[in-house]
Amino acid sequence: MITREQLEEERGDPAGLERLYRQAVATAEEPAFREAIARGAAAHPEDALLAAWAYRLDLRPLPAASTHPARITQNWTTAIAGSVLMGLLAFLCAGNRPPVPNPQIASPLFWIAWGPLTGLGLLGFLALRGSAGRPDQRLGSCGLPALVMVLIAGYAALAFWGRTDQLAQLIALHLPFVAWAALGAGLSLGHPDAPEQGHAFMVKSVEIAVTAGLYFGAWMVFVGLTAGIFAVLGFRPTGETLHRAAAWGTGAVPLLALATVTDPARPPAGQRWDTGLARILRILTRIFLPLALAVLAVYVCWFIPAYFWRPFQEREVLAVYNATIMAILVLMTAALADPGEQRSPAQDTSLRYQLLALGTATFSLNLYALAAILSRTLNYGLTPNRYAVLGWNSVTLFMLAMALAGQWRAPKENWDSAFRTALARGAVLAALWALWVLVGLPWSF
């Protein structure tokens, strides 16, 4: 295992660092070496050798490539043109109906096409601006994910066009998730440290989602104010007009959000984590960790013993539990965004045990929720919804088990890397289950 002490011993010796790197590659410990370099470069910003290794391992963005005014202009020109096109496609797909991924409300073309089209738009922007890798890697990193998105959209259209039943609603929920997973696989699997890249992609996805929400809210405020001005003048926009405006925003904002918070020339783990919304997100997660732990303590120590049978009898209570589990997994994923973050020993220990406590409490809640859905299935029969929820409860339980086991086994100087790696590998199971729901669930019912 490459430790911080070993790196400090070889810090001024180019040959020594090269020996450490080759040793790490030979023993499959390259992520530990990357972690040590990231910490060392952050602790010694004046060290040119460590800085060179950080750039070599894509741990820092290249200033000349990512901040050149001409490149920024090109990025935004592409992003704005792409967002206008994506907004137009969403506008056309939505028709006169609300732009929501619900087969009972939305146009079939919209709820089937929105997730894959958004994924294709983001993938196209990243490929054009260079984050998908070298030209010889682009077939794998862009072509295969794009093919997956097209195939799942075509399959859903053939199997569920015009349907509004329970199966169609499950497909509508899982289509965007599978498109997102295909995008993440394309950006992560071409790198030697794929788990670290995958974790960084998940954290950036949270940041992009928050940014997209802000953009969409601002767009709808603008639409509302414009509608109010025209109403004063006697021209009242119809509900269909507002639906179309919302549809355009739904299609346009994801690409704008991506261009705002990422440098498309860098891989996921090479993004900046110390500025802008990424820094705010990290601070928010550190604030909410103890709060979430307190809420879970109330759940586990009081609410569950006092109302033990409620999730067994009321699906709404069980749905709240499952939503809580998903939200806490997102919180735990975002809590360790920056591989090069510097923390004092006390801060590092506190964060580790907060995550361990939160993960253990969530694991207990997940076991309880799994028991409740199993009981409901045995008592009331297997439905598509219960089938999907059983799988998701099993996947999240396994993800939590992997994260907790990884933390306990890892040495104290490398626990955060082990935690990120475990969550990223667990996310592969989530992607596979979502794909099975899309492809296999219809054949099971």
In a domain, 195, yes or no: yes
Are 95 and 214 in a shared domain?
yes
Q: Taking the C-alpha atoms of 114, 118, 121 and 123 in order, what is their torsion angle to the nearest 10 degrees?
A: -130
Are 383 and 292 in a shared domain?
yes
Q: Which of 270, 285, 315 is the last residue of a domain?
A: 270
Q: What is the pLDDT along the chain (445 residues), one digit of tens a residue?
A: 666 677 777 777 788 888 888 888 878 777 778 877 877 776 676 677 888 888 788 776 555 445 567 778 888 999 999 999 999 999 999 988 889 888 999 999 999 999 999 999 999 998 887 744 444 455 556 788 999 999 999 999 998 998 988 899 999 999 999 999 999 998 888 777 788 889 999 999 999 999 999 999 999 999 888 888 887 777 777 778 888 899 999 999 999 999 998 888 888 887 878 777 888 888 888 899 999 999 889 888 888 888 888 889 888 889 999 999 999 999 999 888 877 677 788 888 899 999 999 999 999 999 999 999 999 999 998 999 999 999 999 999 999 999 998 888 877 777 888 888 899 999 999 999 999 999 988 887 7
Q: Which of 270, 300, 329 is the last residue of a domain?
A: 270
Give the model's pLDDT for residue 264.
86
Task: Count Cβ atoms within 10 A of the Cβ of residue 99 and give its class: 0-12 exposed, 13-18 middle, 19 or more buried.
Answer: buried
Are 120 and 181 in a shared domain?
yes
Are 381 and 317 in a shared domain?
yes
Are 343 and 394 in a shared domain?
yes
Residue 413 is given by DSSP the state T
Q: Which of 270, 289, 320 is the last residue of a domain?
A: 270
Distances (CA, A) of 77 to 82, 214, 230, 277: 8, 21, 31, 22
Are 410 and 323 in a shared domain?
yes
Are 49 and 87 in a shared domain?
no
Give the model's pLDDT for residue 134.
47
Range of the domain at 217: 69-270
Q: Which helix (DSSP H) or strand (DSSP E) does residue 304 occupy?
A: helix 304-306
- Alpha-carbon gap, residue 177 to 154, rounded angstroms: 16
Give the model's pLDDT for residue 95.
86
Are 329 and 367 in a shared domain?
yes
Give the model's pLDDT for residue 62.
55
In a domain, 64, yes or no: no
- Alpha-carbon gap, residue 194 to 224, rounded angstroms: 44
- Alpha-carbon gap, residue 82 to 99, rounded angstroms: 19
Give the model's pLDDT for residue 2.
66
Give the model's pLDDT for residue 4.
65
In a domain, 62, yes or no: no
Give the model's pLDDT for residue 14.
82
Number of folded domains in the chain?
3
Are 156 and 292 in a shared domain?
no
Sequence length of the chain is 445
In a domain, 214, yes or no: yes
Are 152 and 211 in a shared domain?
yes
Are 250 and 301 in a shared domain?
no
Are 88 and 52 in a shared domain?
no
In a domain, 83, yes or no: yes
In a domain, 24, yes or no: yes
